[in-house]
Structure 1
Amino acid sequence: MINGHKLRIQDALQQTGCVCCLQVWTPPTTGQWSVVKELADRWIELMYCAYSYFICSPHPGIAENIRGHCSGLSYHVTYSPSHQTARLSDNTAFALSASQVHDQLIREKKKKKKKKKKKKKKKKKKKKKKKKKKKKKKEEEEEEKEEEDVLV
């Protein structure tokens, strides 16, 4: 996890370089870098892998050696330095800014929490309505009994 560090991907590349040939990426360059991504739905993990494991395009086979860290190895990501975007193998585009990714992840978590809260509220409302109906029925029955008693 990045733990909210707001580093740009360029900084990470300058520090790390290719895990195979140890060539350090310096902007501006043409050509593409491949990255291994652990989970498609977690952008923060993409960033983590991008920081740790950048692979120079002449060395695509090195991806197999990264299995130890990236369990599953489900996606190969192509990084374009000129556009500062990564493209997953299913053609989903990612903007590679750690802060953007972190913020997006937080937003998604908040949305999920809101949905859960709404569901809970709906359930509570239904329960309250049922209780009210039961109370009304009981009260009506009691009133009827009282009326019958009075009549008798």
Structure 2
Amino acid sequence: MSDSVHLTISEGKRKPPLKVHFILNGEMFWYSEGNKGVRGMKVMLSAILETVRVLVITVFLFILASLVVTAFFEDTTNINYQALIESNSYLFFLRCLQALGILGFIYILYRNKYQFSGWYKGKRMQRLSKRTTRVLFSISLVCTLALYLVVWFMVSVNQL
């Protein structure tokens, strides 16, 4: 059986009482100032659902983009991608840079499109500015293509 603490503070005739309810084992926390407690729980639930949705979208798009990028790399260079990364350790850094570029594209896509179709409806939801989108897109493109540029240069110089 869990211990609970109840606290009721009345702030005058016009305001409803402030109610706080804790269950000490961490199972429940409740704050109510009139109807704000219910609204706060809805906001918390929608934020949790939005976080899960963002994680699912990110994982799905990251896996999809990684598969496409790997297939494109192997088709254009005729080199086994995994063997190349294992034999040249510095290319692992470029692979991580490529992953950051893909995450940059996913971030741009989420902020400009997917955030408006979710459960969370916040006051600060807005698209990225055109300039910010262009800068992030350029940085993500350079990060994504850096591995290809280095490998294609190495292939042309016959160092692989």
What range describes the TM-score normalised by the shorter chain of this pair? Answer: 0.3 to 0.5
> Normalising to structure 1: TM-score of the pair?
0.33
Bigger Rg, which one: 1
> Larger relative contact order (C-alpha < 8 A, sep ≥ 6)?
1
> Normalising to structure 2: TM-score of the pair?
0.32
**Greater share of residues in helix:** 2
